[in-house]
Amino acid sequence: MTELWSREEPLDPSAMFDVDGFETRLLCPVCKFDYSHLREAFTRFGTDELEGGHAYPGTLGKGTAPEYRRDGLVIVFDGECGHAWQLIVQHHKGNNFVHVRYAAQWNRKTPTCSADPQPHDDCTLPWKPSG
């Protein structure tokens, strides 16, 4: 499946994490549902010939971020709500910035799916675990 991804946005921790005591759950950035699965992790290459273009250990290189010199780590999630999103850790000038992108068919302000995080039992989206 080919997905078009939204523009990269700075991560809003209150919209993406649910803190409950000592545990923190990752939430869907579109509907805030908390059941998700890791799809893949990969290195997104930077453009600098000396400081970019090196896959992080244990990942494959996939794509380039033309606006960054250094490489970034991308983790792709599939939510049981039907949404897909990327959590991106991008290195830039000694800092690591955390951004999020979601599959472009979903509009965060007006989700086009029937998923409602409270309650979720009536979701009509097909979701099947892989494997």
Query: For 52-86, what is each residue's pLDDT tens digit?
Result: 888 999 999 988 888 888 999 999 999 998 888 88
Q: Say how far apart CA 127 and CA 96 lie, in whole Å.
A: 33
Domain boundaries, the chain: 9-102
CB 3 within 8 A of CB 103: yes
39 Cβ neighbours under 8 A, 6+ residues apart: 76, 77, 78, 84
104 Cβ neighbours under 8 A, 6+ residues apart: 3, 4, 5, 6
Query: Looking at residue 57, what DSSP letter applies?
Result: T
Nearest CA to 44 among 77, 66, 16, 29? 66
Q: Say how far apart CA 96 and CA 118 lie, in whole Å.
A: 33
Q: Say how far apart CA 33 and CA 26 lie, in whole Å.
A: 9
Q: Per residue in 82-128, pLDDT tens?
A: 888 889 999 888 888 888 887 766 444 433 344 433 333 333 333 33
Lowest mean pLDDT among 10-14, 29-33, 56-60, 76-80: 10-14
Give the tokens for residue 101: 């992108």
Where does the pLDDT of residue 15 fall: very low under 50, low under 70, confident under 90, or very high at 90 and above?
A: confident
